[in-house]
Amino acid sequence: MGNGIESTYHPQGDSYVLGFPYLLSVSNRKPHKNEFRIVEAFAKADLDPRMRLVFTGETTEKLSHWIDTQQVRSRVEFMGNVPEESLPSLYRGAQALIFPSLYEGFGLPIIEAMACGTPVVTSNITAMPETAGFAALFVNPRSVEEIANAMERIIGDRSLRNQMRDQGIIRAGEFSWEATCLRVAQLLREIVV
C-alpha cells in the first residue's frame, strides 16, 4: 500500500548550511538502524576529511564510545531533535542519505530524502528495495565494506549523484498523499467487487 509524504518535501528551497559537506543519517538510537556500522564505514571510507557524518537525535554513551574507537569524533555531528519543518532543508543540504537499516516496514526517510533531491544509500533487504525502487544505491547492511564503498561512490561520482537525484524525485512522486489515497481507493474497490 505504501505511505505518503508531505508536500513540504521537495528539491526547491533552503538547504541547511552547516559549514561543511555532510552525509546524513535520519535515525534514532535503535539497534536495527545499524548506526555502529554506519560510523565504522564512514571511518573506513576514503572521503575528503572535511566531510562529516550527521545524525538526527542525540548520541548515547555506547555510540559515542564507538565513534571515539573509530577515531572520527571530530567528523561526526548530532543535530538533536530536528523539528519536522526543518527536515526538508536538512535533507537538501546533505550530499546523500545513508540509511542501511537492518529492517524497516517502509523506510520513510528514503522517500523524504528523494523528494528533496538527495541521493540515497540504503539496504538491499526487507522493505527498502521496494520503497526505493530503481532510485537508490543498495548495500548489504551487514557489510561495513559495502556501506563504505557506497559512500565513496556517491561522493566521488557527480554523474551518479545527479542521476540518482533525478530518479529519486521521480520515485518520490509516486508517494504523494494523493497517489497513496488513489491506491487505497482502488484496493477498496477491488475488495467490494
Ordered by start, the domain boundaries in the chain are 22-192
Predicted local confidence at residue 149, as pLDDT: 98
- Residues 56-115 pLDDT 10s: 999 999 999 999 999 999 999 999 999 999 999 999 999 999 999 999 999 999 999 999
22-192 fold: Rossmann fold (3.40.50)
Beta carbons within 8 Å of 184's beta carbon, 6+ residues apart: 1
Predicted local confidence at residue 183, as pLDDT: 67
Predicted local confidence at residue 152, as pLDDT: 98
CA dihedral of residues 157, 109, 142, 93 (deg, nearest 10): 40
- Residues 122-136 pLDDT 10s: 999 999 999 999 999
For the whole model, what pTM was predicted?
A: 0.92
Predicted local confidence at residue 2, as pLDDT: 61
C-beta neighbour count of 22 within 10 angstroms:
22
- Residues 134-178 pLDDT 10s: 999 999 999 999 999 999 999 999 999 999 999 999 999 998 767
192 confidence band (pLDDT: 50, 70, 90)? confident
The C-alpha angle 176, 101, 31, rounded to 5 degrees, equals: 125
Which three cell numbers, joined as nine digits, stand for 9?
A: 518535501
Average pLDDT, the chain: 94
Q: What are phi and psi of 50, to 5 degrees?
A: -75, -20
